[in-house]
Every structure is written in C-alpha cells, then in structure tokens.
Amino acid sequence: MPNSITVKGTGCVHVPPDTIEISFTLQAKAEDYSETMQIAEKKRNSLHGAVASAGCKPDDLKTTNFQVNTNYEHLPDESGNYRPVFRGYICTHSFRLELPVNMDLLGQVLVAADQSAAEPEFSVSFTVKNRNAVQEKVLRDAAAKAKQNAEILADASGVTLGALLSVTYAATDTPMVSETRCTLGAMRKVAACGDNAMSISPDDITVEETAVFVWEIGGSAQ
C-alpha cells in the first residue's frame, strides 16, 4: 500500500440566473366527481388562455402534479364526538412555466393569470437553464482546489505528489435557485395595480460541491 495524502476539495461557483420559473396551483372542489373534474378543466383552460394572452405558448405549461382526493369535514355528532362527513372531491393541478429573465414578461404573465377565472396560487423563483454546465464548472473547481492544496501540503511536508489513486464524490443535488424570493403577496399587489414592470435584479446562484481525492506521495522532494 503506497503512502498517500487525502484532500477534500470544495468547489464553489456563482452564476447569474437566466430562467424564471413560475409554479401555478389550481384547485377545484365539488360534491360530485364529474362536476369537480369539469371545474378543474375550466380552470386549466382559463390558465392556458391567460398565458397565451401574455405572449407565451400554452404548451410551455407543464404539469408537475395532478391528484384527486375525497373531501371530508370533521363535524361533532350528538355526543360531541367529531365524525368525518363526506363533502365531495378536491382536484389539485400544479403547473410549471419557464421564462427567460424578462421582468416585463413576468409581470404580464402574473397579471393575466391573477385576473383569470383560474384563480391560481403561484410562486416565482430564479434558476438556470443549463444545470449540467454549472455542475461541470463547480466540479472542476473542486478538483483544481484539491490538487492545489495537495501540492502545497506535499511541498510543505518535503515529499512529492504522485499519481491520483482515487476520487470519492456523492452528488448533493442542491437546487440551483437564487436566494431572491418573490412572495405571493408582492406578486398579487403587482397584478392588482396593473403595473407589469417590476424592478427586480435577482441575486446570483451559489452552488457548492465537495469531493475527496487521494494521491500517492513519494520520497523527499529535492
């Protein structure tokens, strides 16, 4: 077993977001299942129409969640004990819409959605389109820092740095999202005022990844 040195390298990159991600959630309630689904479909069509009126393609709305659940309300009986009472069905349909970082377009989409019959709940985040490129950049940074530190440690210890023996890496799957947040209240205020322009400059996205490198070390450096 050769002598070795183990160094942990942590890469860190800061990238400006290039994509706006809007999450919409629609909810339909009715006592009858068919009526629930009809309401859900009307709301979906209304949201698609709102997105189209803002200049986006309705097909860009991608479903992220769809579920239908029974709806019960817990009410007290004659003895004061709470019993579940069937009230019908709840259909929840969630969508994701991606836009370029264009605040005017974002405002137009939110105004149109808020004023539609869809009655959506929505949230806004800022991310990057090419996540693989960011991941590659941060891993290269981790490897470069680890090697630099290994060379410093080897030189300071009076030994030579040899071949790379192993690399251990476990992806953390960190969300590549800016810490800038647009709250629901702020978005609705914009829509209510009819002012599509928002002076928002999202913060850069910080991504970190760590890997462990093991190098062989030789005799004294001359």
**Three-class SS string for 97-112?**
EEEECCHHHHHHHHHH
The structure's pTM equals: 0.79
Q: What is the mean pLDDT of residues 172-182?
A: 83
Residue 10: pLDDT over 50 = yes
DSSP character for 129?
S
pLDDT for residue 70 is more than 90? yes
The SS3 of residue 63 is strand
CATH topology of domain 19-74+84-127: Alpha-Beta Plaits (3.30.70)
pLDDT band at 76 (very low <50, low <70, confident <90, very high): confident
Angle 37-39-44 from CA coordinates, rounded to 5°? 90
Please check whether residue 214 is in contact with residue 6, taking contact to mean a CB–CB distance below 8 angstroms. yes
Query: What single DSSP character describes residue 177?
Result: B
Q: Which of 88, 96, 93 is nearest to 40 (CA)?
A: 93
Task: Please tell us whether the domain made up of 4-13+132-172+209-220 is placed in CATH 3.30.110.170.
Answer: yes
Inter-residue contact 18 to 80 (CB < 8 Å): no
How do the domains of the chain map onto residue ranges? 4-13+132-172+209-220, 19-74+84-127
Task: Give SS3 for 77.
Answer: coil
Higher pLDDT, 180 or 186: 180
B/e letters for 4-29, b = 16+ CB within 10 Å, e = fewer, are ebebebebebebebebbebbbebebe
Tens digit of each residue's pLDDT (9 = 90 or more) over 90-135? 999 999 999 999 988 998 999 899 999 999 999 999 999 999 999 9
pLDDT at position 192, please? Answer: 46
Q: How confident is the model at residue 222 (pLDDT cuts 50, 70, 90)?
A: low
| C-beta atoms surrounding 65 within 10 Å | 11
